[in-house]
Structure 1
């Protein structure tokens, strides 16, 4: 078998390890220094691999950034896709849990995304990130539409603002400035975030989405089954 020019002579496990190390190193470097202020050489040094591996695995520094965003957000995108399947009832609690677990595993991601969206230092990177976000927003629109078709949306709410309310409820705590997070007690830790998901689900059940019956006067009884369609 002929080996392609430039292909690293490494076992599959070593190649996967090198790629994963580059992803993790780039997350830290990009979120700490910004995309344009960190070189591929320094990223590779942080990852403990040769800088040529960035071009081999990702094509360029921008390709590395795109891989970070796509792969990190993949579980959320997949959950949106599952929820808009006509044979699968939308599950707001599971979606929030998936999103918050992703954030807990990648607490540097919000800072990186905010930097790219606010600074716009690099048009290519800005386009990559907004493309992924646009994809998520389109899926969220279909997700809300699935609730409408099942008549699970509270008729007292303005339909044009439902998606804004849900996205704001889920995303604001992790994208808020550090000062506000500290003042509000926000923690980018899995236990805290999953507790927030439960809290948000209760808000949705009692406000955003219709409920099959009035809530019990005793909050310890007849509590809705979280995670199932309402």
Structure 2
């Protein structure tokens, strides 16, 4: 398991923003290229920092990658955990809104997640990269509709497995849709558009899946 390094001592406070620059650079480059094609030097150059700071802040390229995945996904996963613990009908809507809000700042990040989930498992490095994703996005956290069904909040004809897949399709498709499709629809993925889409998709979930009195239970 990759170790995630955070605070270090011995460096002046003026350079602490270099950590965020490195994370942003890593996020951009790992979306554009395969993991093995991205070098420490390239990440540092893209961030406008010294390559030695990667070892200083993270220890290695692998740990930088793990930290970048974890810190980008953690707000969404925290909302998933909260929803599962409370079994509330508004949980999926809250998760959707959180996801859109986080990803509006990193609109290409879902494509990286898709790449990780699709990796060929024949090499050790690919297995390790997939393990990072699995550790963060635990399947048990994502099966929220199973719990909502057990709690009597879904329509009787709703299949929770189909609902789980429909929900995550609503989450990720706006960010995975080819640019040509978005352009043909006249859509630009902006924070304002995502806020509107989150509201509309929340209504879609509520009216299509939940009993009318679910929010009052």
Alignment check: 8 A CA contact 2:29 2:38 kept: yes
Q: TM-score, normalised on structure 2? A: 0.82
Counterpart Cα distance in 1 of 2:90 and 2:210: 12
**Can you give the 5+ residue segments of structure 1 that lack an aligned partner in the other structure?**
1-6, 214-227
Q: In structure 1, what is the equivalent of residue 142 of structure 2? A: 140
Match of 1:39 in 2: 39
Q: 1:92-150 CA deviation, whole Å, 9 max, x = no partner?
A: 222111000111010121232333334548412233224333x1x32121x22442243
Residues 173, 186 of structure 1: 8 Å contact kept: no
Measure how far apart 1:37 and its partner are: 1.4
State the match for 2:181 in structure 1: 180
SS of the counterpart of 1:172? helix
Q: Distance in 1 between matches of 2:160 and 2:118?
A: 29
Is the contact made by 1:30 and 1:38 (CA closer than 8 Å) also made in structure 2? yes
- Contact 2:89/2:210, CA 8 A, preserved across alignment: no
> 1:216 — aligned with what?
none
Quote the Cα distance in structure 2 between the aligned partners of 1:175 and 1:229.
Answer: 35
Aligned to 2:29: 29
Which structure has the highest helix share of the two? 2
Counterpart in the other structure of 1:56: 56
Secondary structure, in 3 states, of the residue corresponding to 1:107? coil
- Contact (CA 8 Å) 1:140, 1:163: kept in 2 or not? yes
Count how many residue pairs are aligned between Structure 1 and Structure 2.
Answer: 206
Are residues 1:211 and 2:212 paired? yes
Compute the displacement of 1:200 (Å): 0.9
Q: CA deviation at 1:87?
A: 8.3
On the 8 A contact 1:82/1:88 being kept in 2, the answer is: no
Deviations 1:35-74 (A, max 9, x none): 2212101111222222122122222212111111100011
**CA gap 1:118/1:150 in 2 versus in 1, 3 angstroms:** closer
Q: Tell me how far apart the structure 1 counterparts of residues 79 and 41 of structure 2 sit (CA, whole Å).
A: 36
**Aligned mates of 1:36, 1:229 — CA distance in 2:** 51
Residue 129 in 1 paired to residue 130 in 2? Answer: no
**Counterparts in 2 of 1:1-230, with a 5 A limit?**
9-11=10-12, 13-86=13-86, 90-120=90-120, 122-123=125-126, 124-133=128-137, 135=138, 137-141=139-143, 143-212=144-213
Structure 2: any 5+ residue segments left out of the alignment?
Answer: 1-7
Larger Rg over CA atoms: 1
Instruction: Indicate conservation of the 8 Å contact 2:145/2:160, yes or no.
Output: no
Q: For the residues of structure 1 that align with 2:50 and 2:14, how far apart are their CA atoms? A: 13
Which structure exhibits the higher relative contact order, with contacts defined as CA atoms closer than 8 Å and separated by 6 or more residues? 2
Q: Aligned partners of 1:183, 1:87: CA distance in 2, in Å?
A: 39
**Residue in 1 that maps onto 2:5:** none
